Structure 1
Amino acid sequence: MLQGCLWCPRLKRLVLPAWNRVETVIIKAIDLWKDLESLTMPSIVNPPHLVQAIATNCRNFSELKIMGPFDIYFASSLVNYLPTLKVLSLRCSMLYKDTLIFILDNLCGLEVLNISHCLLIEVPPPPAPGRIVRQLDKTILEKASHLLYFITCMSDACIMCQRTRNDEGLMRWYKYNEGLWKEDEEQNKTMLKEVTKGFLSILC
C-alpha cells in the first residue's frame, strides 16, 4: 500500500497508523506529494524534520491528526513551519496543559481543534507533582473561543478516555478492535454538521 502511495504524486490524504516503520521513506516521499492536504500519523521522534518537509513541499496542507504524545517540541514545529494549519486533531493523545495553551495562543489560523479523549496533564511548579486535568478551565475556554470548533471529551465514563488513561497517553491501538482508531473521526464529522460554531463536548 505504501509503495503505491509513493507513485501517486496527486495524493491529497494519507493515513499512517504505523509511522515508526516508514518515517524515513515518507519524509523523502513528501517531496513528490505537492497536493497533500491531510496527514494522520502517530507521534514521531523528529517533528521539525517532517513538518518542515510538509511546509516546503505541500502548499495546500491544512489538516494534521496525531495519534500519540504531543509535546511543546512538536507544537513549536507547527507554529514555526505550519502557522496556517486549519485542523489539528490530538484525540487519544497525551497533552500538557501548557502545550495546549501554546497552540491556542500561537496557531492563529487554526479553525478546528480536537482534543477528545486526551490525557491532559498540568505540571505545577515543583515540588508539586503533575496531575490529570479532568475539566477545562475558563482560561482555556476563552483562548479557544476564536476557533470554529473545539472538540473535547474528558468523561470518566467514556471508554475511550479510560483507555487513553490506562495506556498513559500512548494508545496501544493493536489491543482494540480493528478500525477503532478512526471511528471517532466520522462521529465528529456528523456532530460538526449539527452545530454552527464553538465548543463541542462529546457525550460518550
Structure 2
Amino acid sequence: MPNIQKLALPMWTSLDINSIQSAFSKWQNLQTLIIHPFISMTVREVSSVELQAIGENCRNLTTIKFTTMLSKDLANIIVCNFPSLERVSFRCNYACIEASISLIIGLPNLKIFNLSHCIFTENTGTGRSCIIGMRPRDELVQAGTKKLVRFMVCCSDCTICQDVWKHANNPNRYGLEFRYVKEERWKTDEIKEHH
C-alpha cells in the first residue's frame, strides 16, 4: 500500500523500530497519522527514535493525532521531526502548558491545534508537573489565537470534558470508562483531514 494517505496505529507498542522504518519507508505519501498507544492505563511515551523514523520517511505528513499526554519532551520531538505539520491534536489528554506553547511557536506551518477536553498541567521547576485544571492559562490561549487559524480548547463547563474526566479520581470506575474513551476518541476528533 505505497499510496496510503491516512493511518491509525492502534497497536503501537507491538512494533519494533526496524518494522517502523521498513513500513514508513514505503508510505512516503502518508498525510495523516494517528498514534494510538493501546495499552491499559500506563501509556508509555512515544520514543524519539520511533518518531524520527517516521519523520524522515513521511515528508508529506501534515496531520498528527496523538492519544497520549503532551509533555515537553514529546513537543520537542515533534518540532524537530515534523516541521511541515499543519494540524495537531491531543484531544482528551493531559497537556503541558509549556509544551503546547512550544508546538505553537516551533511548528511554522501549524494552522489547527486541538486541545479540546484536555486537563492542563504545568512544570513546577522540580522536574514534576502539577495539574491546573480544564482551563488553559491565558498565555496559551493568546499564543494560540494570535498565530493559528483554529485553536480548540474548552470552557470550564464543557459537558464532554465532564463526561471524559468525571471518574478520573475514582479507581473503581476509572479503568473501564477511560479505556473506552481512549479507544474511541481518535474517531471523533474535531480536526478533519483535508487531502
- The interval holding the TM-score normalised by the smaller chain is 0.7 to 0.9
DSSP 3-state at the match of 2:110: coil
In structure 2, do the counterparts of structure 1 residues 85 and 134 end up closer, same or farther at CA, with 3 Å as the change threshold? same
**Deviation readout 1:112-131 (Å, 9 max, x if unpaired):** 100011121123346x9723
Matched letter for residue 47 of structure 2: P
Q: Corresponding residue for 2:50?
A: 50
Distance 2:176 2:66 in 1: 14
Deviation by residue 1:47-93 (Cα, 9 ceiling, x = unmatched)? 32222222221121110000012211111111111122111000011
Give 1:40's match in structure 2, choosing from 34, 37, 48: 34
Which range moved further: 171-180 or 36-45? Answer: 171-180
CA distance in 2, matches of 1:19, 1:148: 31
| Equivalence for 1:163 | 164
Q: Mean Cα displacement is larger for which, 129-138 or 9-18?
A: 129-138
Alignment check: 8 A CA contact 2:70 2:93 kept: yes
Q: Percent identity?
A: 23
Q: Which amino acid aligns with 1:119?
A: I
* Matching residue of 1:62: 62
Match of residue 185 from structure 2: 181
| Paired positions, count | 179
Contact 1:122 1:131 in 2 (8 A): yes
DSSP-derived class of the 1:176 partner: helix
Compute the RMSD of aligned alpha carbons: 3.1
Segment drifting more, 106-115 vs 171-180: 171-180
| Partner residue in 2 for 1:9 | 2
User: Are the aligned partners of 2:70 and 2:100 in contact in 1 as well (CA < 8 Å)?
Assistant: no
Alignment of structure 1 residues 1-204 onto 2, 5 Å: 8-22=1-15, 24=17, 25-42=19-36, 45-125=45-125, 130-144=130-144, 145-164=146-165, 166-167=167-168, 175-176=179-180, 180-185=184-189, 189=192
CA distance in 2, matches of 1:177, 1:72: 24
- List per-residue Cα deviations over 1:150-175 (Å, max 9, x = no partner): 0112535524454247448x986774
* Unmatched runs of 5 consecutive residues or more in structure 1: 1-7, 190-204
